[in-house]
């Protein structure tokens, strides 16, 4: 089994810790070791996906007034919300466990905002010469100095 580290909201972290404590107490009462799974069966083993769908997931959807959807769609919702909120594609790929951001882009590129003028507007206040000089090698800085002497600094 692969261990995965996922950043969570503080409230969720506290609730998961509480759940872990309850599960440890239940396991001790049953005379067995606590499971390493976040959501184990009563025996501490993997849950049966069919049981989850029929006993929990579908009734929750009905109670919430939502149309039927598979649980895997939560993964897509998570990814699209992150992207719509401007999360970097590399972060989303990492969260989804994709081997490469390319996979994430192929699946979710249409969810990445493309009409956010504020990104381009941020360029207005930047000092392009200072940025280029901060990243430039000494020979590149010398070349830029030669351009400045020739009056070509506005052409970068």
> What does the pLDDT read at residue 156?
44
Half-sphere exposure of 7 (CA within 13 A, CB side): 6
> What does the pLDDT read at residue 138?
62
Residue 44: which of 27, 68, 67, 20 has the closest Cα?
Answer: 27
> What does the pLDDT read at residue 2?
57
Q: For residue 71, give every residue at least 6 positions away whose Cβ sits within 8 Å of its Cβ, in sequence order, or none.
A: 52, 53, 57
Residue 108: which of 91, 132, 125, 131 has the closest Cα?
Answer: 91
Question: CA dihedral in degrees (145, 149, 155, 156; nearest 10)?
Answer: 0
Q: Which long-range contacts (CB under 8 A, 24 or more apart) does 75-81 make?
A: 79/104, 79/107, 79/108, 79/111, 80/108, 80/111
Torsions phi, psi for 154 (to 5 deg): -80, -10
Task: Note down pLDDT in tens along the chain; length 156 residues.
Answer: 556 677 778 888 899 999 999 999 998 998 988 888 988 888 888 999 999 999 999 999 999 999 998 888 989 999 999 998 889 999 999 999 999 999 999 999 888 877 667 777 777 777 777 777 666 666 665 665 655 555 555 544
Predicted confidence (pLDDT) per residue in 111-134, tens digit: 887 766 777 777 777 777 777 766
Torsions phi, psi for 72 (to 5 deg): -60, -25
Taking the complete model, does pTM exceed 0.95, yes or no?
no
């Amino acid at each position: 089994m692969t261990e995965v580290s996922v950043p969570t909201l503080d409230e969720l972290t506290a609730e998961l810790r509480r759940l872990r404590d309850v599960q440890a107490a239940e396991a001790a009462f049953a005379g067995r070791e606590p499971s390493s799974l976040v959501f184990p069966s009563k025996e501490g083993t993997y849950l049966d996906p069919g049981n989850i769908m029929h006993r929990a997931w579908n009734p929750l959807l009905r109670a919430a007034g939502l149309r039927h959807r598979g649980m895997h769609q939560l993964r897509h919702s998570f990814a699209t919300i992150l992207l719509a909120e401007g999360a970097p594609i590399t972060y989303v790929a990492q969260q989804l466990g994709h081997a490469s951001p390319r996979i994430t882009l192929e699946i979710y590129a249409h969810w990445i905002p493309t009409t956010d003028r504020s990104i381009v507007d941020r360029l207005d206040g930047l000092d392009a010469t200072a940025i280029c000089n901060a990243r430039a090698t000494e020979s590149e800085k010398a070349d830029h100095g030669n351009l400045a002497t020739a009056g070509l600094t506005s052409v970068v």
